A and B are shown apart, each in its own frame.
Chain A
Amino acid sequence: MTSRISCFNRALFRRCLRRTAPLWIVYLVFWIVALPLQLLISFGHTPYELSDLQSAIQSTSQMGASLVPFFYGVASAWLIFFWLFKTRSAYFYASLPVRRETVFLTDFCAGLVLGLFPNLLIFLLTLGSTALLGSFQPLACAQWLASGCLSFLFFYSFAVVCCMVIGHVAAMPLLYLVLNFTVYVLDYIVRILLKTFVFGMPDQTGVLASKLSPLVYLLSGSVGPRAISVYDETDAVYRTVGYTFTGWRYLLILGGVGLVFAVASFFLYRSREMERSGDVVTVRALRPVFLYFFTVGSALVLGDGIMYLLGNQTLTANFIPVLICLLAGAFLGYAAAQMMLQKTLRVFSHGWWGYLAVCLCLILTFGAARLDLFGYSRRVPSSDEVLSASISTYRSAHDDVPYTDPDAIAATIELHSYLIEHQNEVEPQLRELGKGFYTNGYQQDFYLTYTLKNGETIERKYSAAVTAETENDPDSLLSHFTVLYNSTPAVLARCTPDWDVKPGNFTYCSINGPTDSSGSKFDTVYLSSDDAYRFYTECLLPDLKDSSLGSTSFSLGSAEKTETWNPVTVTLDLTDAFGNTVNFNYTVTADAARTIAYLETLGFCPLLDQG
């Protein structure tokens, strides 16, 4: 018969708080200075707008829900469960007449108090300081508190899981760091590796990988304050009247996952073998998981590193060298993992079957990818399936804008099919270009993206060699890409908003360029909303529609020309009815007759004297 379970021990709790006092005192002082004190100093003596005060509080929410809990969470867990890493201390606590459940719950709660109590205190102090400033801000303060606490709950619980699994004092924070970025980094590296021999594989990390790496996602700007703008009819401009906090769903999910981690930690601690203190992995069942996870991770990360050191350009599209690099990375990872698990350097004499198994898996997986056994490279959607398509040179909101024109979609599919048919010609071209380290040209990347009617997205990335031969050859791959990229639907998608514009939408318009034919004098002119609207509808839009503006030339010559040519630049900011602002920059080219004519009336000389 064992004794009954109590959930809390005051002596242990007090000791936890005393032991971690330096940490939470620093945390508390940091936030007092960063928030309530900062508000009083910044707004105490000068008149301010309400939105400025809200902005000051909200701007700390971003940091308060990402970087600060990321570091504070691991520091708290590490200090609170530090005793688990040392044999003497682990034995000391295990010999006390306190049940494991009590020890864990007391320590875990002490950690939560470390995060939540200072946050609550800062919340109250900030609330008080806003009241002192004469503008009580309970909502903004509550948003700060809730986002910080949810984020802390996740990062702290995650660090506690690491403490339960890892028994080594230095390995625990390292593992925490690695695991926080694992999905993001591995996704990126797998894409980097696969793109070398999987035709069309894009190398940019997906949103899912970012969401599974919380710090990356929290810092990406997807979670945090957003300005609320209201259209001011008097001045025909949008004004920021307040802030809202977006990303609650993600933060709530993080909090929920944090609770799951807390429960998992509880059970891991209950079954923990105290004699494992000092081991890298304390849970027996997880030791092989660690071994193979570390080996595969090392194969990818170190394999990529070795490729980089050897000069990956020469390896592009070469399957065997990539595979050798992967196997070398796996070898290093397997040996290192065995050394950590067995706590000895003598691991080379036995037990290499696991490594051979990993090698086999890598060869089979990457071999299957190379032979396109899953049909990834060959997949081309039919016109009926596609809702929209896009072509871009880099993945950004400006460049990667979809078009729905059926002819343009058909042209995109046609180009895609052409690429697959000519894969055997395209890959050697790039390899040859890579061998010369781009001295005779450069590699231009193009992204083709389809959004299908069933909601699926197909993304592919291809590259075209830009050389003296390809830029003048109408049948070259580069020319095919250029034609589609400069087609009217693609240009209009890239260079115009996808909603009907009105004068009130133009929140900013500037024109910058030379005012003499030699290009030595420059000026900047700002247009009113009405003038900007007229300029856009009567000059820019017609020129964009007949492709005399907005086209891009991918050639060796254009790269040289930008160094000597100073064209006129038009910048437009358009704000939609929801307060979202889009920005367009147009570089005026010699063919844009309507635009040039208008600019000349403003005193600009778009056509420079090249002589």
Chain B
Amino acid sequence: MIEVQNVTKCFDGFPALNGLTLTVPQGAVYGLIGPNGAGKSTIIRHLTGIYRPDSGIVRVDGLPVYENRAVKSRIAYIPDELYCPGSITIRDMVQFWKGIYPRFDEHRFDSLRDVFQLSEKQPFRHFSKGMQKQAMFWLAICIKPDYLILDEPVDGLDPVMRRQIWSLILEDVTGCGTTVLVSSHNLRELEDVCDHVGVMHHGTMLLERSLEELQDNIVKVQLVTENPLPEGLNVVHSSMTGRIQTLIVRGRQHEVADLLAQCHPMLCDLLPLSLEEVFIYELGGAHYDVKNIVL
């Protein structure tokens, strides 16, 4: 389990993380989402032992990560911006990785050769961005990590390779109990793979729930009625096109339907929200400017 408690980190006086608390359950696929500058990459760098927090606790399985070789050897990290040393090849990286990660599985590396189909003798710098990402996934999976931390992982990958890689990761999640923390702006993709979501804003955790719980607790309503809306309806956002009102209402679907029945609507459609919509409206509540977004 990954635990982050009240972590603060300032860069030249600017608070990138402001008392952040986060919990990733064992074996979960946790999607970390938030607007640009929310602090997602910063907390990921804390989780991988790159940054030392100004205050607060960052623990993996109850142990601090910073300068902890034993913990870090169980974490595989793929950053948003890859470091690809000039003339190094995948073969060189395998040799290097074997000397660094004690659990590096060369048999697995060989078995995945057909999936990735990359030249092992070609220098990294000759690879495209997508191929470099593929190579890093190939190596990361072979570490057999207990924790896989991914920062914008599938940027630059083609759709087929994305599915291939996600399928390999999810295989590890189900087969080996690997815990995955992934930060991405591709919410449609996260919706398919994540079971937990954390929404960050201004260096704090806005909300952190299981995806099911998150989507069950907010509903989109298309409504035509001449009566006023009933009291007790928690409307997050509303807009009107002709006679049709579109409401985003906080609450479970059946509870909202019962309340709306009081105003005798001529039309009342209740629709589940996508993760992208949840993200936008939850941030709207946190003073993020969503006024002009029409869904």
Contact = CB atoms under 8 A, between A and B. Distances in A.
Contact of B96 (A15, A89, A94, A95): A15
Nearest to B70: A3
Given A9-B100, A96-B100, A88 B50 contact: no
A5 to B, nearest CB: 9
A19 B85 CA distance: 10
Interface stretch (A97-105, A209-217, A227-235): A97-105
Interface in A1-16: 1-4, 9-12, 14-15
Contacts of A40: none
Contacts of B101: 97
Given A89-B85, A91-B83, A96-B72, A2 B64 contact: yes
B207 interface: no
B99 A97 contact: no
A274 interface: yes
Contacts of A88: 79, 81-83
A97 B69 contact: yes
Contacts of A273: 51-52
A321 to B, nearest CB: 39
A87 B64 CA distance: 23
A531 interface: no
A13 to B, nearest CB: 9
B98 interface: yes
A99 B63 CA distance: 15
B85 A99 contact: no
Contact of A11 (B63, B68, B99): B99
Nearest to B63: A1
Nearest to B143: A97
A97 B49 CA distance: 9
A87 B50 CA distance: 11
B67 interface: yes
A100 B67 contact: yes
A456 interface: no
A11 B98 contact: yes
Interface in A486-513: none
A275 B49 CA distance: 12
B51 A11 contact: no
Contacts of A418: none
A275 to B, nearest CB: 6
B6 interface: no
B73 interface: yes
A91 B68 contact: no
B51 A275 contact: yes
A48 interface: no
Contacts of B66: 2
Contacts of B75: 95, 97
Chain B's interface size range is: 20 to 34
A95 B48 contact: yes
Contacts of A14: 95, 99
B38 to A, nearest CB: 17
A437 interface: no
B216 to A, nearest CB: 36
Contacts of A526: none
A92 interface: yes
Contacts of B98: 11
A275 B99 contact: no
Contacts of B79: 88, 91-92, 95
Interface in B7-46: 11, 45
Contacts of A4: 69
B100 A98 contact: yes
A88 B96 CA distance: 18
A4 B67 CA distance: 10
A99 B83 contact: no
Interface in A53-105: 86-89, 91-92, 94-100
A274 B45 CA distance: 10
B77 interface: yes
Contacts of B96: 11, 15
Interface in B51-94: 51-52, 63-64, 66-73, 75, 77, 79, 81-83, 85
A95 B73 CA distance: 9
Contacts of B49: 94-95
Q: Which of B45, B50, B71 has the most CB of A within 10 A?
A: B50
A95 B99 contact: no
B134 to A, nearest CB: 17
A3 B45 contact: no
Given A88-B79, A97-B100, A11 B95 contact: yes
Contact of A95 (B63, B70, B77, B85): B77
Interface in B238-270: none
Contact of B68 (A3, A92, A95): A3
Contacts of A19: 85
Interface in A399-424: none
A89 B68 CA distance: 19
Contacts of A92: 79, 83
A198 B234 CA distance: 82
B83 A89 contact: yes
A94 B63 contact: no
Nearest to A94: B50
Given A11-B95, A88-B82, A89-B85, A3 B51 contact: no
A14 B100 CA distance: 12
Nearest to B16: A275
Interface in B137-193: none
B56 to A, nearest CB: 16
Interface string A502-537: 000000000000000000000000000000000000
A437 to B, nearest CB: 51
A91 B47 CA distance: 12
A92 B139 CA distance: 14
Interface string A375-402: 0000000000000000000000000000
A2 B68 contact: yes
Given A92-B83, A95-B72, 12 more contacts: A2-B68, A3-B68, A3-B70, A14-B95, A88-B82, A89-B85, A91-B50, A94-B50, A95-B48, A95-B75, A95-B77, A99-B67
Closest 9 CB pairs of A and B: A11-B99, A97-B73, A97-B72, A3-B69, A92-B83, A88-B83, A94-B50, A95-B48, A3-B70
Interface of A: 1-4, 9-12, 14-15, 19, 86-89, 91-92, 94-100, 273-275
